[in-house]
Amino acid sequence: MHLYKSIKNFLFDQDYFIDIWGSNVHIFNFIDILTLNDQNVSLQLEKFKLDILGSEFRVLKLTKNEILIQGNIKEMRFTE
Partner 1 sequence: MNYFWISINQKEQDRFLLKCYKQNIVIYESVTSSKRCLFKIAAADYPKVSKMYFAKVRVEDATGTPKIKKFLKKYFFFIISSLLGLFLFFFLTHIIVKVEVIHSNKDIRDLLTTALAEKGIKKNTWKKSFSELEQIKKEILNQYPDRLEWLEIETQGMNYYVRVEERKLKEEEQKMERCHLVATKDGILKKLIYSKGEALLKTNDYVKKGDIIVTGILKKDEETKEVLCASGKAYAEVWYKATIKVPKKRMESKETGKIRWNILLKNNSYNDFLFRSRLENYQTETKSLFKIFNTEVFFAKQKEVVNTIIEKNEAELLDEATTKMQEKIKLTLQEDEEILNQKILSQNETDDYLEVQFFVAVLEQIGKQQEFTLDSDLDTHSPNLSE
Q: Which residues contribute to the site for partner 1 (CB under 8 A)? A: 33, 36-38, 58-64
Kindly give the residue spans of alpha helices, DSSP state H, lying in 17-76.
none
Could you tell me if 3 and 9 are in contact, meaning their C-beta atoms sit under 8 angstroms apart? Answer: no
Query: Closer CB to partner 1, residue 6 or residue 65?
Result: 65
Query: Closer CB to partner 1, residue 6 or residue 66?
Result: 66
Query: Closer CB to partner 1, residue 9 or residue 63?
Result: 63
| Dihedral of the alpha carbons of 25, 29, 34, 39, in degrees to the nearest 10 | 0
Task: Name the minimum Å distance from CB 36 to partner 1.
Answer: 5
